[in-house]
A = this chain, B = another copy of it.
Amino acid sequence: MEKRVSMKDVANKVGVSIALVSYVMNGLEKEKRVSVKVAKKIREAAAKLNYQPNQIARSLRKGSTNTIGLIVADIANPFFSQLARIIEHEAINFGFTVVFGSSDEDEFKSESLINTFLNRHVDGFIIVPTEGTNIQIQSLMRKNIPLVLIDRFFPEIKTSYIILDNYKATFSATSHLIEKGYKRIAMVAYKSSLIHMKERIRGYTEALDKFNMADNTCVKEVKFEKVQKDMEKILNNLLTKNKKIDSIILATNTLSISALYCLRKNNITIPNDLGFIGFDGGECFDLFSPRLTHVKQPLEEMGKEAFRVILDLINGSNKTSQIMLNSSLVICSSC
């Protein structure tokens, strides 16, 4: 087993103090006026011994870890894993490492993840906040920990965040259905007090309102813990009762997929039996027959902005950045 070499080893080899090695390793030789000759020797010795800095020691001393904590609802959800990929990429480019965790929309898991990451002294957090985590977020704010929320936020807490203009997203999706001649448009969303869900629902209801179709407003909510079951019940209901719906908008990608399963199971064909608009779809939506019209989120921008903002905060900025991005409606053949 090879032993790790420390600055001391390099210093001993060259016959200088540890301080000099530290200066050179950190590229401070100019600033600290280390002689060119010694600097060269140190660099050579370091290379020869294959010296690698111990980031743990560095972190303890400097109080910063060059690590960011990423908490999403579920890393296995393509929406979040794609986001994670983008954030990871940015992080690496700036010399940061990402630790991640999935909250499962559970406030206690969220709390535990935040504490774990705090104890490991991440320099900042990128969090997809879950219902009931307001206090946790406020506590981070009080501790002055760099923080940016993503996908969702709390209107009553003044944090930085990057979100979608959810209102616009569903407003335009709904309008699209109306323009296509659909009359009885339903929306299925998650039962949640979180703003992104509320806004998606508001976009839908206000679009109906605008076209004087408020009477046909039909919002159904499923519980996060039993999506499939709730969805089946709801769809069975909506598709069989007197005032049958003629089209549907789903408020998230998981809901979209769940709905597709149900529809297929019940032999409901799209768009003949039912018009359909999904939410941030990806490959599944493209490969479905017919191709599914869906709301597309600007993932790349979202991830990049989130990292840019957190880096800014880590570097001492005290500016609160609240950024709202626009989705696009990808029009295919499902309505």
Contact = CB atoms under 8 A, between A and B. Distances in A.
A88 B59 contact: no
Contact of A284 (B2, B142, B284): B284
A103 to B, nearest CB: 11
A165 interface: no
Interface residues of A, number: 51
Given A54-B119, A65-B56, A101-B92, A289 B289 contact: yes
Nearest to A81: B81
A286 B335 CA distance: 22
Interface stretch (A13-21, A70-78, A236-244): A70-78
Interface stretch (A185-193, A215-223, A257-265, A323-331): A257-265
A311 to B, nearest CB: 17
Contacts of A56: 56, 59-60, 65, 120-121
A172 B117 CA distance: 45
A75 B257 CA distance: 21
Contacts of A117: 97
Nearest to A1: B144
Contact of A53 (B60, B81, B119): B119
A159 interface: no
Interface in A221-252: none
Interface string A72-98: 001110100110110011001000011
A326 to B, nearest CB: 22
Nearest to A76: B85
5 contacts: A56-B120, A60-B60, A76-B81, A81-B81, A98-B101
Given A54-B121, A56-B120, A74-B85, 7 more contacts: A52-B115, A67-B99, A75-B75, A76-B78, A88-B100, A88-B102, A98-B101
Interface of A: 1-2, 52-57, 59-60, 65, 67, 74-76, 78, 81-82, 84-85, 88-89, 92, 97-102, 112-113, 115-121, 142-144, 257, 260-261, 264, 283-284, 286-289
The 6 closest A-B pairs by CB, nearest first: A81-B81, A76-B85, A1-B144, A55-B119, A284-B284, A76-B82
